[in-house]
């Protein structure tokens, strides 16, 4: 078991695992937790980007190539965490796939990819993380959901279904493991904007773009979810995660909604 690293910061000595750590909100979260003194395990599929981020964040960062939708890949990743740290204090299920498209146009692969990443992925990571969080004497799981569960948007049937399932998972695990001091929080996140102002949640819908965007704009969906301030920054998303993870023991946030207005 290695040392988890000391130093300044309100999370010094903590070990946090972040899925989808090399881009968008996940990247900002990883950077912020490292700044706060945590040892950060970066989980993502791209080995080169993981290596670059390890070098940026320094010795507290450990990159582990992981496909969250593959249970064997997840088992291997969390075994690596156990071998190096012997525990996990915080799991952040940030990885997600958002690809709006007309329901009838969805291929088997489209459906499988979204369900594997958005729902099966957190199921696998939570299952693997809980013994390590228990070994830490308790900790936090933060699952990233979406405003799509609160409003009905066109072309979002599968995405909405996965995020609703993720919220149900959080409720169930929060109750099951409450007595073991394992807190589970669902973060219902508004649109997060990365560098250049682009949404970190939006994957180009390819051949369906000409159908999706005009309707979302005509019905006011885009303006409604982004708000007059133009959406959240990924840095503000990271702030919310720090807030959740640093609540005093005995305080539990079941659901947090963070959005621009």
Tell me 87's DSSP state. -
- The gap from C-alpha 135 to its chain's centroid, in whole angstroms, comes to 22
Contact between 16 and 41 under an 8 Å Cβ cutoff? The reply is yes
Q: Are strands 90-93 and 61-65 parallel, antiparallel or unpaired?
A: unpaired
Angle between helix 234-245 and 24-35 (nearest 10)? 50
Q: How far apart are CA 236 and CA 164, in angstroms?
A: 23
Give the dihedral of Cα atoms 37, 127, 247, 14; nearest 10 deg.
Answer: -20
Query: Tokens 């693997």 label which residue?
Result: 128
Tokens, residue 195:
């560098």
Task: Render the burial of 30-68: b for 16+ CB within 10 Å, e for the rest.
Answer: bbbbbbbbbbbbbbbbeeebbeebbeebeebbbbbbbbb
Q: How far apart are CA 127 and CA 137, in angstroms?
A: 16
Nearest of 201, 200, 183 to residue 126 by alpha carbon: 183
Residues taking part in catalysis? 159
Q: How far apart are CA 31 and CA 217, in angstroms?
A: 33
């Amino acid at each position: 078991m290695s040392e988890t690293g000391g130093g300044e910061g309100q999370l010094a000595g903590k070990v946090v695992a972040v899925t989808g750590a090399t881009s968008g909100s996940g990247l900002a979260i990883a950077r912020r937790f490292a700044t706060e003194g945590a040892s950060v395990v970066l989980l993502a599929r791209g080995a080169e980007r993981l290596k670059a981020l390890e070098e940026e964040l320094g010795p507290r960062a450990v990159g582990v190539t992981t496909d969250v939708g593959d249970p064997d890949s997840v088992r291997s990743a969390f075994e690596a965490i156990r071998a190096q740290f012997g525990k996990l204090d915080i799991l952040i299920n940030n990885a997600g796939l958002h690809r709006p498209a007309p329901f009838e146009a969805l291929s088997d692969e489209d459906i499988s990819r979204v369900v594997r990443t958005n729902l099966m992925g957190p199921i696998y990571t939570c299952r693997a993380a809980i013994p390590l969080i228990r070994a830490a004497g308790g900790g936090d799981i933060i699952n990233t959901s979406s405003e799509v569960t609160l409003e009905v948007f066109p072309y979002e049937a599968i995405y909405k279904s996965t995020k609703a399932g993720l919220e149900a998972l959080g409720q169930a695990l929060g109750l099951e493991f409450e007595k073991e001091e394992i807190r589970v929080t669902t973060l219902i996140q508004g649109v997060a904007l990365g560098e250049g102002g682009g949404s970190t949640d939006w994957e180009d819908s390819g051949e369906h773009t000409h159908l999706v965007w005009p309707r979302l704009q005509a019905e006011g969906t885009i303006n409604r979810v982004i708000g007059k301030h133009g959406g959240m920054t990924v840095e503000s998303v990271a702030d919310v995660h720090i807030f959740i993870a640093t609540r005093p023991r005995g305080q539990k946030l079941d659901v947090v909604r963070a959005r621009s207005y």
